């Protein structure tokens, strides 16, 4: 994978296909490949005439691993995304993010509205504002000596996911400390561009997608039927809803 320096941090990325650019921002503990290629998103986007730009967030995949918790705020990772667009000389793009990637996409749309034509936020809802209460549980699961020590259900899910992906668990634990940076309701209301907010019907982590969409000047909501947080990522109904939305806002 090629890489570039974003404020001195090496960020790995890939560009797939040709057409209208769309920046894909993966979730916590994942990577561009796992979140977007392995789930069929890149194929779906390129077949629909988009150029899919995937990358590994700092601390993830092939990008540089960092262990300072102060370097993982969502607004900082949004600058990596913006710097990648500059590096590729993309003046304006759509963006799709899942879970942590949706939070990053929200700060990207807030702080760089001229660079973002439309946004799809998956795996997130009103908890973008209210925050989440299980960060310490996940950190404990990631830093435990073995999976057998992890008894919490959510903690086990994240630990199994990290081990399966051969992720740097120390870097992920540092990321978890600060990456769930909340966005205020006032900030959400300032995001003027079109946004699709999508979450699984059984997603316990996202919060209400409709309640978040109602705060956005041009927000729309979509519920991914019969899916929880982990299983909604590559769901076909999510892809169809996102592609329909993106086509309306090319």
What is the tens place of the pLDDT at every residue in 166-199?
A: 999 999 999 999 999 999 999 999 999 999 999 9
Residue 158's φ and ψ, nearest 5 degrees, are -70, -40
pLDDT of residue 250: 86
220-240 per-position pLDDT tens digit: 999 999 999 999 999 999 999
Query: Which residues of the chain register pLDDT less than 70?
Result: none
Interior angle at CA 132, CA 146 and CA 120, nearest 5: 105
pTM value? 0.96
Beta-carbon count within 10 A of 151 CB: 11
Domains and CATH numbers, the chain: 3-130+180-248 (3.40.50.1820)
Radius of gyration of the chain (CA): 17
pLDDT of residue 132: 87
Mean pLDDT computed over every residue of the chain:
97
């Amino acid at each position: 994978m090629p890489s570039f320096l974003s404020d001195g941090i090496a960020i790995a990325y890939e560009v797939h296909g040709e057409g209208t650019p769309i920046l894909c921002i993966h979730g916590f503990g994942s990577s561009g490949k796992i979140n977007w290629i392995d789930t069929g998103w890149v194929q779906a986007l390129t077949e629909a005439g988009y150029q899919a730009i995937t990358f590994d967030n700092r601390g993830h995949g092939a990008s540089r691993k960092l262990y300072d918790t102060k370097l993982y705020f969502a607004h900082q990772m949004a600058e990596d995304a913006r710097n990648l667009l500059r590096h590729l000389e993309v003046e304006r793009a759509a963006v799709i993010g899942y879970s942590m990637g949706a939070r990053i996409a929200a700060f990207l749309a807030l702080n760089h509205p001229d660079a973002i034509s439309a946004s799809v936020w998956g795996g997130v809802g009103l908890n973008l504002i209210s925050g989440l209460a299980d960060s310490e549980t996940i950190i404990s699961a990631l830093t435990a000596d073995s999976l057998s020590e992890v008894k919490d259900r959510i903690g086990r899910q994240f630990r199994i996911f990290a081990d399966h992906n051969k992720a740097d668990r120390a870097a992920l634990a540092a990321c978890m400390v600060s990456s769930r940076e909340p966005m205020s309701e006032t900030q959400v209301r300032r995001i003027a561009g079109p946004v699709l907010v999508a979450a699984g019907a059984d997603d316990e982590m996202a919060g209400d997608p409709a309640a978040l969409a109602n705060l956005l000047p041009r927000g729309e909501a979509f519920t991914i039927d019969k899916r929880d947080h982990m299983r909604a990522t590559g769901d076909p109904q999510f892809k169809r809803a996102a592609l329909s939305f993106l086509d309306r806002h090319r």
